[in-house]
Amino acid sequence: VLAPLDKEWLVRLHSPPDPLDINVLSWGVTVLIGAAMLGCLLLWVWPHWRDLERLKETARRLGQGQMAERTHISPHSNIGELAGVFDTMASDLERHVNQQRELLNAVSHELRTPLTRLDFGLVLLFDEVPPASRKRLLGLVGHVRELDELVLELLSY
């Protein structure tokens, strides 16, 4: 750009190219700002990721039958309320499974004991009944043993 000062003098203005140091400095500052933002993002995301992984691992262990497993996630976490509901669900599930097991054990004892006594009594009667009634008695023993097998199959199921 030429700018006249008077009739004899002209001033020539030109801007020199940016020095290399400014380009490097600008690039460096941009990289530092990006790294700082990425670091802040990682610091914010890491607790969420950790808690979600813990919740997933707890769910996996519950699915494998480890009923005493809990998340142990702080209630102050962003998923703390979800973890609390999950832990309550796991406690209810553990309680129901234990109640079912106790019920099956009680039913097993209450059903199988009389069936065993009946089978034993029928076998003892076998020698005391006349030969004509033995066939009917063997049929009764077969029915008692069939009931015993059904109870055993139910308990196995």
Tokens matching residue 92 = 């209810």
Asked if 62 and 88 touch (Cβ cutoff 8 Å), the reply is: no
CA–CA dist 28, 69 (Å, integer): 49
> Which CA distances in Å does 37 have to 23, 40, 44, 47, 48?
21, 5, 11, 17, 17
Q: In the predicted model, what is the mean pLDDT of residues 61-80?
A: 92
What was the pLDDT predicted at 55? 95
CA–CA dist 54, 82 (Å, integer): 12
Between 16 and 99, where is the model more confident? 99
Say whether pLDDT at 94 is over 90.
Answer: yes
What's the total number of domains in the chain? 1
The DSSP secondary-structure symbol of 17 reads: P
Which range (18-22, 86-90, 149-153) has the least confidence?
A: 18-22
Say whether pLDDT at 90 is over 90.
Answer: yes
This prediction's pTM: 0.59
Asked if 155 and 108 touch (Cβ cutoff 8 Å), the reply is: yes
Nearest of 32, 36, 78, 21 to residue 55 by alpha carbon: 78
Handedness of CA 75, 80, 85, 88 (dihedral sign): negative
Beta bridge partners of 12: 2
- Per-residue model confidence as pLDDT tens digits over 101-120: 898 888 888 888 888 888 88
Residue span of the structural domain in which 78 resides: 2-156
Q: In the predicted model, what is the mean pLDDT of residues 43-47?
A: 94
Asked if 112 and 148 touch (Cβ cutoff 8 Å), the reply is: yes
What was the pLDDT predicted at 60? 96
What CATH number does the domain containing 16 carry? Answer: 1.10.287.130
Mean pLDDT of the chain: 89
